[in-house]
Structure 1
Amino acid sequence: MMIRLPLLALAGLSSLPLSAQTPPPAVAPTLAPPTVQPVPAPPPPVPIPALSPAQEAWANQWLKNGAAQGLMARQKDSVALKGDALVTALLDRAKALGTGRVDTADFLDIWALRPAAFDPRPGLARAVSEDRLAQWASGLTPPWAGYETLRKGLARYEAIRDKGGWPSLAATSPADAVRRRIALEDPAVTPGEPLTAVIQRAQRRYGLNPTGTLDTRTLAALNIGVDDRIAAIMANMERWRWMPRSLPVNRVQVNIAAAVLTVFEGDQPVSSMRAVTGSPDNATPMLASSIHSIVVNPPWNVPMSIAKRELFPKGRATLLKQGYKIIKTPEGGERIVQPAGPNSALGRLKFDFNNPFAVYLHDTPSRGKFASYDRLASHGCIRLEKPVALAEQMVAGDPTLDGQIQALIDEGKTQRVSLPKEVAVYLLYWTAFANNDGVVSFRADPYGWDKLLASKIEASSRRVDPTAAPSPSLASKD
């Protein structure tokens, strides 16, 4: 704060005789030593009581289930651990199950879904003192059915691998060979079932057009090796470990890999629609946020990366003819805006949520892609098959907006509608998911994240887990 002296006082000082203005000899002031506030020491770690012999035996046996939880591709025999080494291994395994094997420092930036902080020491200390290690361990894994069904599916694929995997198929393979191959993954296959039905069911599990014929894409899916399928399951189990232990009961989830949006109400899926997600060159990020508003009749402020790469090369005349506007920026540059209207790339609705990637859900005038089984084609945002229906669900709690979305669109003006209650949104990358019988459905890994993540899991386990063994299939990818 600046202290201002009265003007009269200043004037009085200036009118003193020169001798009176001469300051006295300077005397060094006596300064008190600065007060140093001690930095509080961090609290000591919670002590872990010594494990009894029976607890040590149980703990060593439990540590052998790392492969069953997707924390490593193969387990190795190891000597029994004791004392501090055993406690360290238990804490490490608990952390891996609770928040993921891969440290967030090793995440790609675009994996913006981050697990919550978790300290396993207090829980382990209580479990040892109360002799409840089994109950403690059972509460470490994600509580979601999606994780548990993948765990069952992992056991199925590990058994297939341990029996030698499966042979490759060709377009000329005999029908019995095709049936046997598919039956390895699908126990519902019966000897008398038409082969067309068997192939169709496999195609649906792979997210392919269920033609019932052994086309090129179906052959490619069937010929993916069992080790790669295990890697995909491991990667998706790890992503489940990044998820919060409780989810908003009302939320929107997008499976990026499958290009599908699902609406949950009361923690139950109530509707879904096809979507178009980011192409392999424009990956949609994994993240969690909340939709706070909907822009009706939105203009499209073209990102500079898209403008430079795709639009400016067309030439100004072409852009103006196509309805774009070229606007001067304060810095002296130019940017492109596509005005609101039926041909806007954002369609008639844009669903906004905060995120560092400038992605959002939106309508689109290009409807043909929704009929395709290959819908990873956007610049990273998520295009929606039924945006009006989704908007109506989100404003249903506001009597002034309920049923009015289409009317607002028809007005033709750009306006922002705040939601009566923010809606949680999760953009997730699920390439493997299973039913209760452990039959796993797979989607392609368009961004190459599965193998990368599986190799990171394996490398992290080998660094810190004494029970982890190098996997022949993954060790070379580290």
Structure 2
Amino acid sequence: MRRAIRTATGGSLIALASLAAAQETPAPVLAPPVGATMVAQPLPQLSDAQARQLAKLIAQDEVRQGLRQGAPRDLSATGGDALVRVALDHARAVHAGRLDASDFERDWGIRPQRFDPLPGFADAVARDRLAAWIASLPPPYAGYDALVAGLARYREIAADGGWSSVSAAPELKFGRSGPAVAALRKRLSAEDPQVAASGDKFDAGLLDGVRRAQRRYGLNPAGDVGALTLAALNVPVTTRMRQIAANMERWRWLPAQLEQKRVQVNVAAAVLTVFDGDAPVMSMKAVTGRPGNETPMLVSSIHSVVLNPPWNVPSSIADKELWPKERANPGYLKRNGFRVIDNGGSKRLQQSSEKSALGRYKFDFANDFAVYLHDTPAQQGFSRFDRLASHGCVRLEKPEALAKLLMKTTPEWQPAAIDTTVAAGKTVRAKMAEPVAVYLLYWTAFASPTGQVGFREDPYGWDGELASKVEARQAKQTLASL
């Protein structure tokens, strides 16, 4: 996912002249890194040519990076220290996120690293390399670059008028024809250049286009134009643009370099992938938290695998689900392997490892949300396309394979030892010789290098909320710069 090289945006279009630095002593300014204590530092002074160039670069980049919707703003009247402050603020927003610490929800458990743009900016002014400095600011990941390209593509679609809604109709079936088919074809062609925009026949080419769209939206690619497909197609282009911008903001929260070996879970898509560098080495379906029991975003390290884990039932689940079942059907708890543990006045439930809802494998990592990855006896859940059904933890389709992969460098826990312990049924915590980074992320928009964007539903409503917070924070910063 990490790019080896980033090229300067527009570097081949702009001739950078060597300009003498201003001789006067610049006025001090408070220019802190994100979240740091403010310290007075002198601002570099811009030449007139640099000020014109910088104003244009920032205005264009605000739109390019999804921080501003619509046309670029006019910064030509902004100069001197005011323009420098705009540049430093823009740098923090692009590199480490637009949000303030107070904007984060509790479940958004990822925070950007501190970033002070002033040293790099001062060097760019001194060496007259402002375009290269602007180009160096975004997160150094191909996934982010692809969303930048995708956003540009959807801006073009919006500028061309966007797309019209497609209504349900009997003729939206293979082999049929009519106005509704023509409307469907035109709608698909807006995002998919392989679909011819004109024609009213639901032919093989259109069927393929429907299936491609369903794959982009994470739906069953059966080719049937049902309610879910129509709902995805009828999301306005402006909403898709805000969705892309929200996902770009989340990219800015990630560290500047991801670990070589890591486990990543896309909560929205309910998929786990293991990476070695940029290469995925294992992937599997997952079941993540249902709305109301959201799986949080977080970064941690898996340090151990519990084999044959019992389930210590959270009080919220016990109170809402299990105690009522026991009252309605006495003996329910005993039949399902639960035992009541008296904690001196309060009672909690623990399910034995033989019948544990956690299955045979539990992957532990430190976090403030009491969530983890685990096996499950409810394998039927992985056959669904919509797999948001847990209480917040992440259920895994192939936990045994993941355990053996993560334990590969732990001599005492090679596959035979794992199999023997699991078969014996005894609960054992197997500590990993090398902890592996784990990322729980919320990606609802991701793109290919050509800008072809795949979308997922926003089950938690986080996209709209985040986009609104980014827009509000950007508007506030814009007013402050006037």
**Residue 75 to residue 301, structure 1, CA distance change in 2 (3 Å):** same
When the two chains are superposed, the root-mean-square deviation of aligned CA atoms in Å is 1.7
Q: Which one of the candidate residues 66, 70, 89 is aligned to 1:70?
A: 66
Match of 2:342 in 1: 328
Match of 1:277 in 2: 288
Match of 2:44 in 1: 49
Normalised by the size of structure 1, how large is the TM-score? 0.86
Match of 2:477 in 1: 464
Superposition pairs of residues 175-194 of structure 1, within 5 angstroms: 175-190=181-196, 194=205
* SS, match of residue 52 in structure 2: helix
Deviation for aligned residue 1:159: 1.3
* SS, match of residue 444 in structure 1: coil
2-structure distance, mates of 1:48, 1:248: 35
Deviation for aligned residue 1:152: 0.6
* Deviation string, structure 1 residues 169-217 (Cα, Å, up to 9, x no partner): 0122532321221111112324775221110100000000011010110
**Residue 449 to residue 101, structure 1, CA distance change in 2 (3 Å):** same
1-structure distance, mates of 2:480, 2:49: 20
Deviation for aligned residue 1:79: 4.3
Q: Which one of the candidate residues 366, 381, 388 is aligned to 1:376?
A: 388
2-structure distance, mates of 1:325, 1:77: 64
* Residues 462, 468 of structure 1: 8 Å contact kept: no
Match of 1:210 in 2: 221
Q: Which one of the candidate residues 140, 151, 157 is aligned to 2:154?
A: 157
2-structure distance, mates of 1:45, 1:131: 24
Q: Which one of the candidate residues 95, 99, 102 is aligned to 1:102?
A: 99
In the alignment, structure 1 residue 232 sits paired with structure 2 residue 232:
no
In the alignment, structure 1 residue 445 sits paired with structure 2 residue 458:
yes
Deviation for aligned residue 1:139: 1.1
* SS, match of residue 331 in structure 2: helix
After superposing the two structures, state which structure 1 stretch, 69-78 or 102-111, moved more: 69-78
After superposing the two structures, state which structure 1 stretch, 143-152 or 400-409, moved more: 400-409
Identity %: 52
Q: Which one of the candidate residues 308, 317, 324 is aligned to 1:297?
A: 308
**Residue 43 to residue 255, structure 1, CA distance change in 2 (3 Å):** closer
Match of 1:348 in 2: 360
* Residues 72, 468 of structure 1: 8 Å contact kept: no
2-structure distance, mates of 1:115, 1:232: 20
2-structure distance, mates of 1:269, 1:358: 27
Comparing both chains, which one has the higher relative contact order based on Cα–Cα distances under 8 Å and sequence gaps of 6 or more? 1
Deviation for aligned residue 1:277: 0.2
After superposing the two structures, state which structure 1 stretch, 129-138 or 432-441, moved more: 129-138
* Residues 82, 481 of structure 2: 8 Å contact kept: no
For structure 2, the 5+ residue unaligned runs are 1-36, 170-178, 198-202
Superposition pairs of residues 116-155 of structure 1, within 5 angstroms: 116-155=113-152
2-structure distance, mates of 1:214, 1:83: 57
Match of 2:56 in 1: 61
* Residues 232, 450 of structure 1: 8 Å contact kept: yes
2-structure distance, mates of 1:465, 1:254: 35
* SS, match of residue 174 in structure 1: helix
Q: Which one of the candidate residues 397, 400, 410 is aligned to 1:385?
A: 397
Deviation for aligned residue 1:355: 0.1
* Deviation string, structure 1 residues 217-275 (Cα, Å, up to 9, x no partner): 00000001111101100100000011111000100000000000000013311111000
Deviation for aligned residue 1:75: 3.5
In the alignment, structure 1 residue 419 sits paired with structure 2 residue 432:
yes
2-structure distance, mates of 1:398, 1:113: 29
Deviation for aligned residue 1:44: 5.0
In the alignment, structure 1 residue 221 sits paired with structure 2 residue 232:
yes
Q: Which one of the candidate residues 244, 266, 277 is aligned to 2:277?
A: 266
